[in-house]
Every structure is written in C-alpha cells, then in structure tokens.
Amino acid sequence: MTLPMVVPDETLPSAVTIYEVGPRDGLQNETSIVPLEVKAEFVRRLISTGIQVVEVTSFVHPRWVPQLADASELIDRLDLGGAVDMPVLVPNDRGLDRALAAGVRHVAIFASATESFARANLNRGLDEQYAMFEPVVVRARGAGLRVRAYLSMCFGDPEEGVVPLDQVVTAGRRLLDMGAMQLSLGDTIGVATAGQVSAMVDAFTAAAVGPSALAMHFHDTYGQALANVLASLHRGITTFDAAAGGLGGCPYAKSATGNLATEDLVWMLDGLGIDTGIDLGELVRTSVWMADQLGRPSPSRVVAALAKPSSR
C-alpha cells in the first residue's frame, strides 16, 4: 500500500487522539436504516484499526433520529469494559438514565454557540440550553462518568453568518465551568479557515482555556478541513474528531456535508510523523466495507486513492 513520505515537524505535537464519530455522527443522517449487526461490525472493525475512541451511538428519542433507535441494542453487543473508549451522546436526563443503565463510562452533550441553531436543534434559546445540560453534566460526573461537550456552529451559522469569537468563548466556558471535561468546537457547516481557527484557539487561551481542554470537529464543505487541522496543531490542539470514510452531516443543518474523513486526517498526520496509533490500511478496508453496506463509494480522497478490490 502506498504510504506518505514522513517529514516530521518538531514544532507540532508528537501524538494526537482521533475521536472517531463515524458510527454516531456519520450514520445518524442516513435515510435508509443501517442494520444493527452492520453497526456493531462497523464498531468492531474500527476498533481493530487501533482507534482508541469510538463514539458509538446516541440515546436520543427515535422520533428525532430514527437511525439511532437501536442504541440500547447496539450497546448490548459491544464490550464497554475493554481498552477502547466508547462514548455515547446523551441529549437530556432521560438519555443519561439510559446511558447509566447500559454501563456507559463516557457521555457527550451537544450544545450550540448560536441562538438560531439552539432553537432548531434543541427547541431552546441560547441561554436556555444550559438549564437542560447542567443537571445532566452534574449527574454524570457524580456517577464517575467522563463528559464531553460538543459546541456546534462555532465558525459560522447558515442563519446568522460569522459567529463572534467572544460569543463562542462564552458558550464554551459555560459548558466547561459546569463540569464538561473536554470541549469539541464544531465547524458544523464547514466554513472555517485556518486564520479563523487560530484566532479561535487564541481567544480561548486568553480566556484561560488551554489547548488540552479543546478538540476540533471540522466538516469539509469548502475543502478546508485539513488546513484547519494543521492550524490547530500549530496552536497545540491534540484531539480531532473525524468519521471513517468521510461519513456524516447534521440532520439539523441542511448545508452541512460530511465530516473530515479519518483516512484523510491519518494520511496527513502520518506524513508529519505524528503518532495516531491507527493502521491506515486497515482503516481503508473498513471504510470500503462500510461503503459497500451503504451502496455508494466513500467520499474520502484517501480511500478512493488506496482502495483496491482486494481491500474488501
């Protein structure tokens, strides 16, 4: 298999964590229901690549995301006690109840940096959303769970345009102050550019939130995701969300296209000599397999370049 030439950059982190969101964020917007056993096999194959964090599903009401109606059944088929971290998204107290009953060790909440998206996604205003999330975070932390907070629309909103940096920082600080252990900054519609990303990290640093508390979640709508990752690396960010095969979008943001493909990210990081612990060849084979299940080719450039019939 072709591999990138490795040219290390000593100014960048030596290792990063890839937070794989394919089974949850990648599949949630699929119109055809993916069979339960396919989802379970997808998670198992992802784990076999060396990925250490795989967000597997969401305990959301099936009315809102029918694709994830089998969340409890999927959890029953997975080994939550293994070495790989398998978080789930919980939208509210009821979702947390289900997560606790299932023995989940790591949960995530999903907030908005803008009024428009909070209304569309949560049916609450920008300030009102925190009243919903705070008891979830407090209960989860009290039960010994790790808690991540997603913050969507950090770099642009289809209704509101560019989102002011101080507005994003204020929203993110509120989530961290209530007990979230990591904040994932989402470029939900893929409009961010490298300079904007650097300015965002700098704004959080000025507000006493260092890079170790932040993760980046880029979409590749305008082809800027990898440039934005590189800008983040130069600011010390070491956790990046990605979806195998470039799956995904957001059911509440119609202009959102696929997530940054995990393979594309790993190719760039491998070339920079940055350790991910992931076997790129195995990852490509996994995405080719998943593309076959979905009946369409993967949008990942690296998958397209490396996949061969024998990859299956």
pTM comes to 0.95
Q: Among the options 99, 250, 261, 265, which is catalytic?
A: 250
Give me the residue spans of the domains in the chain.
17-311
Q: To 10 degrees, the CA torsion angle through 152, 155, 157, 158?
A: -120
CA 305/CA 119 separation, integer angstroms: 41
Average pLDDT over residues 167-196: 98
pLDDT band at 57 (very low <50, low <70, confident <90, very high): very high
> Does the pLDDT value for residue 309 go beyond 90?
no
Active site residue 154: no
Strands lying side by side in the sheet with 214-218 = 53-54, 17-20, 239-242, 214-218, 182-187, 146-152, 106-112, 88-89, 57-58
CA–CA separation, 149 and 147 (whole Å):
7
pLDDT at residue 255 above 60?
Answer: no
CATH architecture assignment, domain 17-311: Alpha-Beta Barrel (3.20)
Give per-residue pLDDT as tens, 126-180: 999 999 999 999 999 999 999 999 999 999 999 999 999 999 999 999 999 999 9
Closest CA to 190 of 141, 133, 127, 241: 241
